[in-house]
Structure 1
Amino acid sequence: MSTESNKPLASSDQAPNPPEVPWTQPNGISAAYDLHCHCGAVRLSMNISPPLYEEDTQGKEQCVAVECDCSHCERHGFWAVHPLQKDVEWTRGLEHRGEYLMGSKKCPHYFCKLCGSVLATDLTFLMENVFKMENRYSINIRMLKNFDRKKLKVRRLEVMANMPPKYTIDD
């Protein structure tokens, strides 16, 4: 696992210059993957470019997931990839998908209400107001149907822990 850094995300709702994106840029080769929560009640599929596993890359670049240092990702062990929302389909169990809002309460985090697995984050607010790009999800690849950490590339993103507001819990 390599460590790289990106420019920090904007602390305001709208940045004059969009920050550098944390995801691997598409390269024309994509692959489809099925994901599910621990109990299997909530399921989704995604198509992503470049592919997550080297065997799917056709000799081109492999997608690098992000291990974010924000309080949410740290506490849940979230390894993120960022497919376009149009390339993600929630295939089963929407009635079991819960929503958690934290911080600015603008990007809902999705989890399974039955087993508690953390599945994804809806990045619509950031895409429309900060990055000015097509909407994306942040998907927890630890929910891959055939999760194999040895086949994945992951890099540490150390930016969010220092962004305001500071994460605290009152005693």
Structure 2
Amino acid sequence: MSQNKEQTLQDHPQKKEDEKSSATYQAGCHCGYIKFSVTLTPALPETKVLNCNCSACTRFGYLLVYPEASSVTWHNDSRARCSNYRFNTKNKDQMFCKHCGASIGIDFREIYAPKHIYGISVRTFFFNVDLDSLTYRKLDGRNKVPPAGDLSGQYWDEEKHALK
């Protein structure tokens, strides 16, 4: 694993089995098309939530926790129901609901292989999550994550492999 990937992994709060008790949270999109559950160890509010100000996290409204894929259970094939958006390096899926537009999180499958990690937005959790009571870790992604360039108003044409 490259130093950059190792540093990025260290920057994200990770599940630690020997810490406090676990809790499972029911989650999903606004319209109910995507449903899943997430088990966090330790439970909220002890798990730190990443509050990043990069363009993606700001626009998608992300407040992220980073469970391993084995701690996320997708109901009714909901992972396959997620629409995906890739930008910049094109190596991670920004997951959202194609019906209501709710931002679900990020699939880091290709970045941390063989480890499979999700960045799940706690804004998708249904019950017992008071955002004001959570512990946040701030990341200045606006200044620490170099942009690929200003792509506002453009999109990637898969057939032509070019920006439009």
TM range (shorter): 0.7 to 0.9
Superposition RMSD in Å: 2.3
Identify the residue that residue 31 of structure 1 maps to in structure 2: 23
Q: 1:45·1:88 contact (CA, 8 Å) conserved in 2?
A: yes
- Counterpart residue identity of residue 6, structure 2: P
Does residue 42 (structure 1) correspond to residue 26 (structure 2)? The answer is no
Aligned residue type for 1:152: L
**Which of 101, 126, 140 is equivalent to 1:116?**
101
Contact 2:15 2:67 (C-alpha < 8 Å) held by counterparts? no
CA distance in 2, matches of 1:118, 1:134: 23
What is aligned with 1:140? 121
Question: 1:168 & 1:116 partners in 2: Cα distance?
Answer: 23
Separation in 2, partners of 1:89, 1:155: 25
C-alpha displacement of 1:17: 7.5
Confirm or deny: 8 A CA contact 1:83 1:136 kept in the other structure. Answer: yes
2:3 is aligned, of 15, 29, 36, to 15
TM-score under structure 2 length normalisation: 0.78
Larger RCO (CA under 8 A, 6+ residues apart):
1
Offset at 1:121?
0.6
Change (3 A) 1:111 1:17: closer
Give the deviation of 1:169 after TM superposition: 2.6
2-structure distance, mates of 1:47, 1:72:
25
With normalisation by structure 1, the TM-score equals 0.76
Identity of aligned residues (%): 25
Give, as a single letter, the amino acid of the residue that structure 2 aligns with 1:92: N
Q: Compute the displacement of 1:81 (Å).
A: 0.0
Gap change, CA 1:17 and 1:152, over 3 Å in 2: closer
1:157 to 126, 129, 139: 139
Unaligned runs of at least 5 residues, structure 1: 1-12, 54-61
Where in structure 1 do 4 or more consecutive aligned residues deviate above 2 Å? 13-17, 92-96, 159-167
Please give the secondary structure, in 2, of the residue aligned with 1:127.
coil
